[in-house]
Copies of this chain bind each other. A is one copy, B any other.
């Protein structure tokens, strides 16, 4: 009986603790999302915890309560950012019924994210560069890079499938190609080069048939 009571109490304790953890984590994500706003605006180098707090509804102390460290916060930001990004083209991939449909759907998403989420993308490139200096970032960054490579690969496989072929290049090379093109287009776009987006689309449109 005593054992049972203790067991029940323990179960309740575990449950409440899990609930607390969940709530705690939800708050972390909320804070990370607010931090991403400022990070995307200023970049890693110029962003301080105080600046993040001032551009959000939170005080700078809260961030230290939920994150052990500045790096901890930014790692959480990166990880959260990943979840959003990696599925960007999946709907197009699954619904497209022809090469043309896939191509146009992909290009549309590409142009849209380049123009509307430029700040998030430049932050990603910033943090990936930081990972070359800061070991604490490397694990997350390499993991995200792998996910993005897989994302691009899913497009290529589907594109090949719709032509009854197989992709001609490796996942790594294909990701490198698209990543390089996107990075260059992003920089040009941020520098107010109005041809950045159409040039990227032309390039990708020309490239897609050659890789399968």
Contact = CB atoms under 8 A, between A and B. Distances in A.
B45 A130 contact: yes
Given A122-B133, A173-B203, A128 B181 contact: no
A33 interface: no
Given A142-B191, A180-B179, A180-B180, A125 B133 contact: no
A206 B73 CA distance: 41
A204 to B, nearest CB: 9
Residues of A contacting B: mostly: helix
Interface string A5-38: 0000000000000000000000000000000000
A90 to B, nearest CB: 22
Number of this chain's copies in the assembly equals: 2
Contacts of A180: 175-180, 183
Nearest to A182: B176
Interface string A159-170: 000000000111
A133 to B, nearest CB: 4
Contact of A176 (B131, B133, B141, B184): B184
A50 interface: no
A134 B191 CA distance: 10
Interface in A168-212: 168-170, 172-173, 175-181, 183-184, 186-188, 190-191, 199, 203, 206-207, 210
Given A122-B133, A128-B129, A128-B187, 16 more contacts: A42-B133, A43-B130, A44-B45, A45-B45, A45-B130, A122-B129, A135-B191, A138-B187, A142-B187, A145-B184, A172-B199, A173-B177, A173-B203, A173-B206, A176-B180, A180-B180
Interface of A: 42-46, 122, 125-126, 128-135, 138, 141-142, 145, 168-170, 172-173, 175-181, 183-184, 186-188, 190-191, 199, 203, 206-207, 210
